[in-house]
Amino acid sequence: MTDTVQSSLAETRAPAKVDLKTAVAKRLKARHAAEMRFRAYGVLAICVAVLFLGILLERIVHQGYTAFVTHSITTEVYLDPNRIDPTDIMGANYDQMITEQVMAKMGVAEDEYGTTSGEYKEILSPDLGFKALEALRDDPKLLGKKISLTSPIAANADLYYKGEISRDIVEADRNVSDQQMVWMDDLKTKGLVKGHFNTYLFTNTDSTQPELAGLLGAIMGSAMMLLVTAALAIPIGVGAALFLEEFAPKNRWTALIEVNINNLAAVPSIVYGLLGLAVFINWLGMPRSSPLVGGVVLALMALPTVIIATRSSLRAVPPSIREAALGIGASKTQAVFHHVLPLAMPGIMTGTIISLAHALGETAPLLMIGMISFVPGLPESVTSAASVLPVQIFIWENASERAFHERTAAAIIVLLVFMIVMNLAAILLRRRFERRW
């Protein structure tokens, strides 16, 4: 009887063990399948992000790479004393004089109404006239002599040489006539016009003439503004984070401050622009459209990010470092500044540089403080009127001339290069400090 009962129990338990193993195997298979799906989703998300980033970069480069190449004309100009009054050299029509001389050199005759020279003048840049006047102003003895001048060709002519304006387009739908195309072909055939790297893009400031417009003023304005931002945001932000994390008592007031700092990090950037307009310009009377006001506004915007990044880096330092420093007799200040801060420095530098790179690309707050104005020269100080790269991009994109649009994409490329360099600097500084400590 006993043997019969035991055998029946064994038969009952055997299927139960088989069912348990099967269930465990199914659960493991499902878990493995879920893990594989999660990895596939992650890879897919990265691929989609890289794809859209690649499309964006390809579009920007495709539109902007032509701006890094330009065409210039080199010609000899006779400073005719019959057309230039020595007592009033600024009163002469240098553009007309140079146009007629180039036409004579190319064998183009003027018509009785003078319309041919007017049409020919459209393919030459007014920069030729400016350079002739400048040369004569520097050396009045050049009057009656020939000088060699080199200048960018007019913007529409440059677009034609780059293939952006085609003969296949109906003449009424393009800014260059068929006759002007013939003249431009002759200029290039006879060697007066040559293509080269567009150094004017980096050596000139903004201009109403697309072929003369450059980024030097905007680059200097951005550099000045970023220096002001760094001078304010880094010491104030790091100091505030050190106090809140290491020295401040943990009570409701510090908790309230921490909540407000986190909230300020999410405030739209245009709100900081309104603050700068109301406080710094209207109340304190700071100069409008200056790197000083822009730097202060961007410093306020970057402060929450710098504080949060610094506090996170300080928290990442093991408590044993603080305890060991205090255990050997160091004061609280010595423990923080001699031991904790150096170990947290890689994270602090990374967060700070990334926040500054983010500030460099901001446009909305700068528009609110008047940095949208046309500034043709270089800023002499942080209180001078200046333009910056994001605002320069905004201005060029809204320009009506087609040649400004390729310069817009080129300016975006330059801005992206600046940001990439700043992010690489953050990575290199982090690695350097990590190897040091």
Residues 64-91 have a mean pLDDT of: 90
Query: Domain for residue 209, yes or no?
Result: no
**List of residues 6+ apart from 369 with CB closer than 8 A:** 273, 276, 277, 280, 281, 288, 289, 293, 294, 297
**Which of residues 65, 82, 102 is at a domain's end?**
65
Same domain, 50 and 14: yes
Same domain, 265 and 338: yes
Residue 311, token pair as written in the block: 């506090």
Query: Domain for residue 211, yes or no?
Result: no
Residue 389: closest CA among 418, 427, 365: 418
> Residue 10 has what pLDDT?
52
Q: Which residue has the tokens 């003078």?
A: 114
**Which of residues 47, 65, 83 is at a domain's end?**
65
Contact in structure between 98 and 129 (CB atoms under 8 Å)? yes
**List of residues 6+ apart from 389 with CB closer than 8 A:** 215, 218, 219, 222, 360, 411, 414, 415, 418
pLDDT band, residue 13 (cuts 50/70/90): low
**Which of residues 177, 203, 229 is at a domain's end?**
203
Same domain, 230 and 371: yes
Element (H, E) at 361: none
pLDDT band, residue 346 (cuts 50/70/90): confident
Query: How many contiguous H segments (helices) and E segments (strands) does the chain have?
Result: 17, 3
Residue 285, token pair as written in the block: 């009377």
Q: Structural domain of residue 107, as residue ranges? A: 69-203
Same domain, 361 and 224: yes
pLDDT higher than threshold 80 for residue 2:
no
Residues 402-417 have a mean pLDDT of: 90
> Residue 8 has what pLDDT?
53
Element (H, E) at 70: strand 69-78
pLDDT band, residue 399 (cuts 50/70/90): confident
Question: Which CATH number is 272's domain given?
Answer: 1.10.3720.10
pLDDT band, residue 402 (cuts 50/70/90): confident
The number of folded domains in the chain is: 3
> Residue 437 has what pLDDT?
57
303-335 residue pLDDT tens: 999 999 999 999 988 888 888 888 888 888 888
**List of residues 6+ apart from 187 with CB closer than 8 A:** 73, 106, 123, 193
131-159 residue pLDDT tens: 999 999 999 899 889 999 999 999 999 99
400-to-106, 208, 209, 403, 405 alpha-carbon distances in Å: 32, 11, 11, 9, 9
Rounded-to-integer distance, Cα 190 and Cα 374, Å: 38
> Residue 321 has what pLDDT?
87
- DSSP class of residue 286? P
Residues 197-208 have a mean pLDDT of: 91
> Residue 1 has what pLDDT?
47
> Residue 266 has what pLDDT?
84
Same domain, 132 and 17: no
Rounded-to-integer distance, Cα 259 and Cα 265, Å: 10
Please give the mean pLDDT across all residues of the chain.
87
High-pLDDT (> 70) share of the chain, %: 95
Contact in structure between 194 and 352 (CB atoms under 8 Å)? no
pLDDT band, residue 7 (cuts 50/70/90): low
Contact in structure between 315 and 344 (CB atoms under 8 Å)? no
Same domain, 47 and 184: no
- The whole model's pTM is what? 0.84
Residue 338, token pair as written in the block: 């001699």
Residues 370-392 have a mean pLDDT of: 86
Residues 214-243 have a mean pLDDT of: 92
Higher pLDDT, 7 or 117: 117
Residue 39, token pair as written in the block: 């990895």
Same domain, 385 and 274: yes
Residues 211-237 have a mean pLDDT of: 92
| Rounded CA Rg of the chain | 34
